[in-house]
Structure 1
């Protein structure tokens, strides 16, 4: 049986780099405007760079695709909506021509990355700091409580062939954490109880993003998306949950009232 110290051997590095990311991320979310857009542009470029490298692309192609993604994200965010929409898919389409292998996998993930960053920009711009903070806290709480519950309680694995460390106890703990975050935001005047259900669904979407990245890494035989973040791997390893959550929220905004208010 593993000793407790072995179960949490990476905790110190995860906590220190996680705290630094939280300060930068929440600070940019709070500031909004050019600061938040700058952060999203860097994240979008880093994700595409890591994606190309994971899929076997060389450094030059990775940098070219990262630059295309950064410019495309800024274009779709700053241009009038109808004019900018083609730029959402430009990095994915460009990859078909510039990459020599794993084009389909790249195309799907590249499109989701730009859509996700665009969704975050819309969320911050249309609904303000508090709802961007809500989404961030749901994803963080899902990840953190899932991490601790999985290592403390263990139990049946969620999908051992794809993600050997993920357990059902950690997965369900993530849903509970999301529900708690949702309940906290019911303190906002007029917000209805539906926010709890939406928070749990967002938690599930973030876990699906995590699993999707794990499946890709397993297929490509890599452990981490890169080594940019001590204790966490790469930007993709930290953003995979936000990718799933952001894309899902962008979809459900079209079918439910958001933010959910009392009728």
Structure 2
């Protein structure tokens, strides 16, 4: 097999499984409501299940904490926010008592997973299909542009000790792709050019989520979070970027107008 063919040996498998994931996610995003809530609930449970497995917690703890985290997400999403807030952190606290080791990693990532899932629910509920689609496209284009730029252009590695395949060319290509997605959404009524900058920032947050998961896997000595998704590894491997993007977007929506309206310069 040639070097070029080897670089793309997993492409068709990745594309096939990625297409299935995209269709299921798109349908749930389009339907919103119970369908999207169920998707976020399943993702939360699967992500924490994989996390506990990677951290050496064992199958029984993985199922228990995964199911508990899914339930906690439902609680914070359906209850009045002030009442539901403790459920964001309850699975993290429970894991401290249940896990024999790697408690800090578990505690931090589990809280971020539930916050990210809640952020996705808020994004769809408050801003509708269009802006949920924008978020998904920014994350997806960041990943795809980085994948192809890294293989066609190559060049210096971004952080070889943590993620040996990532390059600076792929990283920057992700920013450019996200900026183009932002430009496409300038056609939405009342949307200003700030959407481009926000899109690039979301792209960076997505990449940080990817890097954070890569660093954890490197520390734990595992290649994939699980083998649930052919060509992608596990759910965590597919949605790590969305976690970073969702948490960051939930934060910045508190300090900037969203959707981003045109600004007036004096």
In structure 2, C-alpha distance between the alignment counterparts of 1:2 and 1:96, rounded to whole Å: 48
In structure 2, C-alpha distance between the alignment counterparts of 1:216 and 1:118, rounded to whole Å: 23
Q: Which residue of 2 aligns with 1:164?
A: 164
Matches within 5 A, 1:56-205: 56-205=56-205
Q: Which residue of 2 aligns with 1:211?
A: 211
Deviation at 1:224, TM superposition (A): 0.2
TM-score calculated relative to the size of structure 2? 0.98
Q: Alignment partner of 2:57: what SS? A: coil
Matches within 5 A, 1:231-242: 231-242=231-242
Q: Does 2:225 align with 1:225?
A: yes
In structure 2, C-alpha distance between the alignment counterparts of 1:245 and 1:2, rounded to whole Å: 36
Deviation at 1:2, TM superposition (A): 5.5
Aligned length: 263
In structure 2, C-alpha distance between the alignment counterparts of 1:199 and 1:26, rounded to whole Å: 20
Deviations 1:84-134 (A, max 9, x none): 000011111110011110000100000000000000000100000000000
In structure 2, C-alpha distance between the alignment counterparts of 1:184 and 1:90, rounded to whole Å: 40
Deviation at 1:3, TM superposition (A): 2.2
In structure 2, C-alpha distance between the alignment counterparts of 1:117 and 1:194, rounded to whole Å: 25
In structure 1, C-alpha distance between the alignment counterparts of 2:104 and 2:3, rounded to whole Å: 42
- Structure 1 moving runs of 4+ over 6 Å: none
Q: Alignment partner of 1:128: what SS? A: helix
Q: Which runs of 5+ in 1 are unaligned?
A: none
Q: Which runs of 5+ in 2 are unaligned?
A: none
Q: CA RMSD in A?
A: 0.9
TM-score calculated relative to the size of structure 1? 0.99
Matches within 5 A, 1:24-63: 24-63=24-63
In structure 2, C-alpha distance between the alignment counterparts of 1:71 and 1:38, rounded to whole Å: 11
